[in-house]
Amino acid sequence: MPLTTDQQQEIEAARAAEGRTRRPVAPGLEALLYQAVPVLDHGFVRVIDYMGDDAAVVQAARVSYGRGTRAANEDRGLIRYLMRHRHSTPFEMCEIKFHVKLPIFIARQWIRHRTANVNEYSARYSILDREFYIPAPEQLAAQSTANRQGRGEVLAGEEAARVLDLLRGDAMQTYDHYAWMLNEDADGTPLDPGRQGLARELARMNLTLNTYTQWYWKTNLHNLFHFLALRSDTHAQYEIRVYADAMLEMVKAWVPACHEAFVDYRMGAATFSAGMLGVVRRLLAGEAVEQPGSGLSKREWRELMETLGRPVA
Amino acid sequence: MPLTTDQQQEIEAARAAEGRTRRPVAPGLEALLYQAVPVLDHGFVRVIDYMGDDAAVVQAARVSYGRGTRAANEDRGLIRYLMRHRHSTPFEMCEIKFHVKLPIFIARQWIRHRTANVNEYSARYSILDREFYIPAPEQLAAQSTANRQGRGEVLAGEEAARVLDLLRGDAMQTYDHYAWMLNEDADGTPLDPGRQGLARELARMNLTLNTYTQWYWKTNLHNLFHFLALRSDTHAQYEIRVYADAMLEMVKAWVPACHEAFVDYRMGAATFSAGMLGVVRRLLAGEAVEQPGSGLSKREWRELMETLGRPVA
Amino acid sequence: MPLTTDQQQEIEAARAAEGRTRRPVAPGLEALLYQAVPVLDHGFVRVIDYMGDDAAVVQAARVSYGRGTRAANEDRGLIRYLMRHRHSTPFEMCEIKFHVKLPIFIARQWIRHRTANVNEYSARYSILDREFYIPAPEQLAAQSTANRQGRGEVLAGEEAARVLDLLRGDAMQTYDHYAWMLNEDADGTPLDPGRQGLARELARMNLTLNTYTQWYWKTNLHNLFHFLALRSDTHAQYEIRVYADAMLEMVKAWVPACHEAFVDYRMGAATFSAGMLGVVRRLLAGEAVEQPGSGLSKREWRELMETLGRPVA
Amino acid sequence: MPLTTDQQQEIEAARAAEGRTRRPVAPGLEALLYQAVPVLDHGFVRVIDYMGDDAAVVQAARVSYGRGTRAANEDRGLIRYLMRHRHSTPFEMCEIKFHVKLPIFIARQWIRHRTANVNEYSARYSILDREFYIPAPEQLAAQSTANRQGRGEVLAGEEAARVLDLLRGDAMQTYDHYAWMLNEDADGTPLDPGRQGLARELARMNLTLNTYTQWYWKTNLHNLFHFLALRSDTHAQYEIRVYADAMLEMVKAWVPACHEAFVDYRMGAATFSAGMLGVVRRLLAGEAVEQPGSGLSKREWRELMETLGRPVA
């Protein structure tokens, strides 16, 4: 469980305090607000705040004066149209803020998404907790042989056990040395008054990349969908995908019509080049197209056949 | 009055509909929500939605789990510290969305601020209203002789009257021709069934730059402060400054502690170069520094003296 | 011809001055550098500067120390792979700067692309030239009846003639009044010493939206491709598409391998939702799928059939 | 020495290959191009490419057709004016691309500057080198007692020796275990054919934060100045400041007039709030102002007195 009792109580207090507002309210997300959804062994993601709902997207697309009186069905149709045709600006009108606890090596991947606002817990200023990510045995995968950037079979037996021992041992040892170098307790009191203690901004360099950090991460719905399309995808690294999957559920509770359109038109969607499209048309016309005469490279042909559910042997 | 009765009723309906939320609520801004504050002759600005409050800035700076139990005074102190030392990321954690009606030539200035989300009423898709900005007589200024980018004395007499006539006449004539070229009423029905009507995306080019447009404009508090620092300033063009001034009042109602820090540390603040700072130190030490021996150019010297309240004759 | 003799001479002088550099050089683009390609009746686009070439994209993807010794063919393959799989960051490593002269209503569309650096000629500070866009007769299209945001047939006869007269007449009249209100010649000397002249920042509001402006516009190759994918497309308004088309030719001269990959994988590409993909698979399997049992809406079905070259009657 | 012989040869080859260009050339930077300037124990920074020069800033501010015929002195004056008055867009017209090798914990600080293009060496795809940052003895500072985010005295004797041993020992051990878990040599051949080897994307998590990474980092001159103002500053962490200092020298070679203006107006500059400015005016008028009657808090008063060179005892 990633939260201390104090933290859990702060969250409960925040959840208990309701107020009145004239702003749009998304009931589904209100129900989840502030709650930490566990991810990995010590991480979590939780929604801290949000702005807007499905109707706000519609309202922005129409630059209207009020929430309008259109049928919900018309709104859904417009949202689907906007998503299908990549009209992105109305989706930028909704905003969401997450609090995320995550391993540093995943934070480094995540931060590549530049169009977000971030406040990270500072190890220059504060002391990090003694928490590291250790993969569950079923996630201890070998390097893929087909893909330089992917995983293959799960490790087993001796090798798996040894890997887990090394990860755990090194993380604990480097953390203990970090703590020794700092020479201070949580209040900043020296542990050993005979020593000065290394500056926090230096000592942190001894930690391993699976140490947990945390941040506030705020973005708009359009940029969030871009993040989710890349990270809630089978090609994404498992350790970031589990965060994306949890966030996608929160999006569903927040803006159900946008979520539905996203799932229908972007998850599982495939882009065909003009050349691939030509092959599809020829196939539909009954022609027996083969790679050599297709105008596609072998690699493109293989990708196309996989997309069409006809994987090349 | 910039709003139709229908629009006013939509706004009243939105104001009347209150809901419950677990999110932070800013009571001062709730009171103003949706209301259109008139700006210029036909424009307005109104807040459509917001996220966060003063405490959200503090919370982000601390990456905390709850709203905390610190004294309000401590929060205010931290906000002032963050503002003074340009720690900008915590201010990015608050977001606000405006609906603005403004003349096109001002919209062109405004849009230079790129770090915002915008949905503008589309004259490619829809028909613009017959509304133009005509300056009030006291705003009809001559070109400044001192500053190529500024205003001098107010025009008077014949010239002023003629300018107003020209502005009004040209705007009305070009709009009438726009309407004739479109050849359609509000529902898209041809006015003259014998004509086809020019495409909207073309006809709009006949409008003058003082025609009103409108948009939804959403930004975070940090970027908004940057906008306000530049536009709610005596060097800004009057026609954009009045919008910035109205928005600054809304910020005050929304995040009073941030607003206070902004006014204290950024409005009316002055930046001194290392060279200027050296001159100030010498002056404070009682030295009778003059421009020639100051190390500053004549222009820099004049700027410094003005900032110090000792304008050069 | 959009350039004065002086401007043409400045361009020739810039073209004549060659220097030596250790940087990557793109010979195809060097040949075009500084030259103004005419667009519309008075506009142009020209390349002012650039950074990088095809090899720079490859080099960034590999984070390498030199230009490498790989075969050109391998580089081309990698570029095509990056484009096909939307690995965008290597394309961000090339940068290009354009000087564009364009009508204001097109500038307003263009500026929506926020991820670029812009310096626009300031009508607050300077005086705009007496140049307006008047569509060629074959571009004088009626409003589309099928698409609220498009063009239909070309206007003809009386109506066309009248439209051109109105556009031309209004542009000239409003410009003449603009000049009268300014009351100054190019050097700032009052035309009529008995008048003060209206401030430039105000007088400009009397101009129509087809008046030409100009700017320096600088962006990276990834963002440029995004711009070109949207604007060099049949759904884009003709008046911005002609600029995009001219720029696409410059990209071809600059980074031929990237251009080829862009044309193959993004121009003319189509994205299929998971639902559409399912229909394609069923059709390929020989099933006689109709809209009612397809799981697609009528609109989606029509869009799919058009993409597959089987338009619905 | 951070470079291998191969890398050094690749750099020499790139430096030897000169071409002709019509683009602006900055001779000072050409002389430095591609050369790696050593930073810290194994890091470096080098310029890979650049666009523009001092004249390009001037040209953009004027939106001109050529390089102009103005005196160099006039250009310098305009650049200084633009810098002093924070007219940032002309500086955005110059672009520079660096190749940087740096410890991961510094890369994490650096990446907060979002307005740049980045391609980082991927430890998901490739294997990191066995290189870690170990501070020089004179950089082994204790935690500051005055500033939670700073350094105090340098550690000495036993404690210093022990810290260096721990940093070195942990980095080497975790790297060795990383290599063991990967179970592959540089070509991907298994070291021990009886094992599968852990996926690279997982094994990397065992590395410490002082491991070196590298990236291509490209930004425009305005954003670079913002980066340098924050990072080439006494409040910046030493380990990032040394990179910023090296880059500032490169900027001097590239755009000497912009560099001079930056140093004069932004380095060592101080911003005074309206309240502080009031105190300065009263002091200059000969008034004996003390903190209690100044309207400033104790903290603000102390900051002001320090800036004025009159530190409070």
Backbone angles phi, psi at A296, to 5 degrees: -105, 150
The mean pLDDT of chain A is 92
Give the integer Cα–Cα distance in Å for A247 and A113. Answer: 15
Residue A159, pLDDT score: 95
Q: What would you measure as the largest C-alpha separation in chain D, in angstroms?
A: 85
Nearest to residue A96, comparing CAs of A240, A228, A217?
A217
pLDDT in tens, A286-306: 999 999 999 998 988 998 999
- All chains having 3 or more CB pairs closer than 8 angstroms to chain D: A, B, C
Option in A11, A67, A117 nearest B220 (CB): A117
Q: Are A172 and A244 part of one and the same domain?
A: no
End-to-end CA distance of chain B: give it in Å, rounded. 46
Nearest residue of B to residue D83, measured between CA atoms: B273
**Is C294 marked as a binding-site residue?**
no
3-state secondary structure of D110: helix
Backbone angles phi, psi at A24, to 5 degrees: -60, 140
% of chain B exceeding 90 in pLDDT: 78
Q: Tokens at residue C308, please?
A: 């597959």
**Is C62 marked as a binding-site residue?**
no
Q: Are B61 and B108 part of one and the same domain?
A: yes
Residue D312 lies in a domain: no
Answer whether C287's CB lies under 8 Å from C279's CB.
no
Option in B80, B89, B273 nearest D269 (CB): B273
**Is D112 marked as a binding-site residue?**
yes
Give the integer Cα–Cα distance in Å for C234 and C197. Answer: 45
pLDDT in tens, B99-111: 999 999 999 999 9
Q: What's the mean pLDDT in C115-132? A: 93
Residue A168 lies in a domain: yes
Q: What's the mean pLDDT in A61-87? A: 82
Residues in B lying within 8 Å of D, measured between beta carbons:
80-81, 84, 89, 112, 264-275, 277, 280-281, 283-284, 297, 299-300, 303, 307-310
CA distances from C234 to A9, C238, D294 (A): 57, 8, 66
Q: How many CB atoms lie within 10 A of CB C85?
A: 11
Residue B313 lies in a domain: no
Residue A138, pLDDT score: 94
D264/B277 touch (CB, cutoff 8 Å), yes or no: no
Q: What's the mean pLDDT in B33-46? A: 97
- CATH number of the domain within which D249 lies: 3.30.1360.170
CA of B276, closest CA in chain D: separation in Å? 8
Answer whether D80's CB lies under 8 Å from D263's CB.
no
- All chains having 3 or more CB pairs closer than 8 angstroms to chain A: B, C, D
Q: Are C217 and C106 part of one and the same domain?
A: yes
Residue A313 lies in a domain: no
Q: Are B160 and B230 part of one and the same domain?
A: no
Residue A194 lies in a domain: yes
Q: Which amino acid, one-letter code, is at B283?
A: L
Residue C61, pLDDT score: 92
Which residue among D23, D67, D80, D231 is the active-site one? D231
Give the residues across from C270 on adjacent strands: A272
Give the integer Cα–Cα distance in Å for D174 and D158. Answer: 24
Q: Are D37 and D152 part of one and the same domain?
A: no
Residue D284, pLDDT score: 92
D23/C33 touch (CB, cutoff 8 Å), yes or no: yes
pLDDT by residue, tens only, chain D of 313 residues: 578 999 999 999 999 999 999 999 999 999 999 999 999 999 999 999 999 999 999 999 988 777 655 667 788 999 999 999 889 999 999 999 999 999 999 999 999 998 899 999 999 988 999 999 999 999 999 988 777 778 889 998 999 999 999 999 999 999 999 999 999 887 778 899 999 999 999 999 999 999 999 999 999 999 999 999 999 998 899 999 999 999 999 999 999 999 999 999 999 888 899 899 999 999 999 999 999 999 998 988 998 999 998 877 6
Rounded to 10 deg, the angle between the D221-231 and D238-254 helix axes is 140
D268/B284 touch (CB, cutoff 8 Å), yes or no: no
**What is the sign of the dihedral through the CA atoms of A51, A56, A60 and A65?**
negative
Q: Which amino acid, one-letter code, is at D277?
A: L
* H-helix segments, chain A: 5-16, 27-30, 54-62, 72-84, 104-110, 157-182, 200-203, 221-231, 238-254, 256-265, 274-284, 298-307
Residue D313 lies in a domain: no
Residue A140, pLDDT score: 95
Residue A196, pLDDT score: 92
Is C105 exposed, middle or buried, given 0-12, 13-18 or 19+ CB atoms closer than 10 A? buried
pLDDT in tens, A206-264: 999 999 999 999 999 999 999 999 999 988 999 999 999 999 999 999 999 999 999 99
Is C5 exposed, middle or buried, given 0-12, 13-18 or 19+ CB atoms closer than 10 A? exposed
B309/D270 touch (CB, cutoff 8 Å), yes or no: no
Which structural domain range is residue A199 located in? 137-206
3-state secondary structure of A32: coil
Overall domain count for chain C: 3
Q: What's the mean pLDDT in A42-53? A: 97
pLDDT in tens, A99-147: 999 999 999 999 999 889 999 999 998 899 999 999 999 999 998 877 7
Residue C68, pLDDT score: 57
3-state secondary structure of B264: helix
Option in A155, A200, A210 nearest D205 (CB): A210
CA of A20, closest CA in chain B: separation in Å? 5
Q: Are A65 and A53 part of one and the same domain?
A: yes
Residue A215 lies in a domain: yes
CA of D69, closest CA in chain B: separation in Å? 22
Answer whether B107's CB lies under 8 Å from A133's CB.
no
Residue A67, pLDDT score: 65
Q: Which of B180, B206, B232 is the last residue of a domain?
A: B206
Q: Which of C156, C191, C206 is the last residue of a domain?
A: C206
Q: Which of A206, A232, A253 is the last residue of a domain?
A: A206
Interface test with D, best of B88, B271, B294 (most D CBs within 10 A): B271
Residues across chain D: 313
Residue D146, pLDDT score: 76
Q: Are A46 and A121 part of one and the same domain?
A: yes
Residue C282, pLDDT score: 94
Give the residues across from D119 on adjacent strands: D216
For residue D86, what is the DSSP state?
T
CA of A197, closest CA in chain D: separation in Å? 5
B281/D84 touch (CB, cutoff 8 Å), yes or no: no
Pairing mode, strands D212-220 and D95-103:
antiparallel
Q: Would you give the distance in Å from CA A61 to the centre of its chain?
A: 27
Q: Are B17 and B95 part of one and the same domain?
A: yes
Q: Tokens at residue B242, please?
A: 């009045």
Q: Are D171 and D288 part of one and the same domain?
A: no
Q: Are B12 and B89 part of one and the same domain?
A: yes
Give the residues across from D48 on adjacent strands: none
Residues across chain C: 313
End-to-end CA distance of chain C: give it in Å, rounded. 46
C310/A267 touch (CB, cutoff 8 Å), yes or no: no
Residue C189, pLDDT score: 84
Three-point CA angle B199, B205, B210, nearest 5° = 135
**Is D204 marked as a binding-site residue?**
yes
Answer whether B206's CB lies under 8 Å from C210's CB.
yes
Q: Tokens at residue B227, please?
A: 């906008």
**Is C85 marked as a binding-site residue?**
no
Binned at pLDDT 50, 70 and 90, residue C69 comes out as low
Q: Are A44 and A162 part of one and the same domain?
A: no
Q: Are C53 and C194 part of one and the same domain?
A: no
pLDDT in tens, B62-114: 887 776 556 677 889 999 999 998 899 999 999 999 999 999 999 999 999 98
% of chain A exceeding 90 in pLDDT: 78
% of chain C exceeding 70 in pLDDT: 97
The mean pLDDT of chain C is 92
Q: What does chain C look like in DSSP terms, one character per residue?
A: ----HHHHHHHHHHHH--EEESS---HHHHTTTTPPEEETTTEEEEEEEEE--HHHHHHHHHT-SSS----HHHHHHHHHHHHHTT--GGGGG-EEEEEEEEEHHHHHHHTT--SSEEEEPPTTTS---S-B----GGG-EEEPSS-TTSEEEEP-HHHHHHHHHHHHHHHHHHHHHHHHHHTB-TTS-BSSTT---B-HHHHGGGSBTTBEEEEEEEEEHHHHHHHHHHHSSTTS-HHHHHHHHHHHHHHHHH-HHHHHHHHHHTTT-EEE-HHHHHHHHHHHTT----STTTTS-HHHHHHHHHHTT----
Q: Which amino acid, one-letter code, is at D145?
A: T
Residue D229 lies in a domain: yes
Give the integer Cα–Cα distance in Å for D30 and D15. Answer: 9
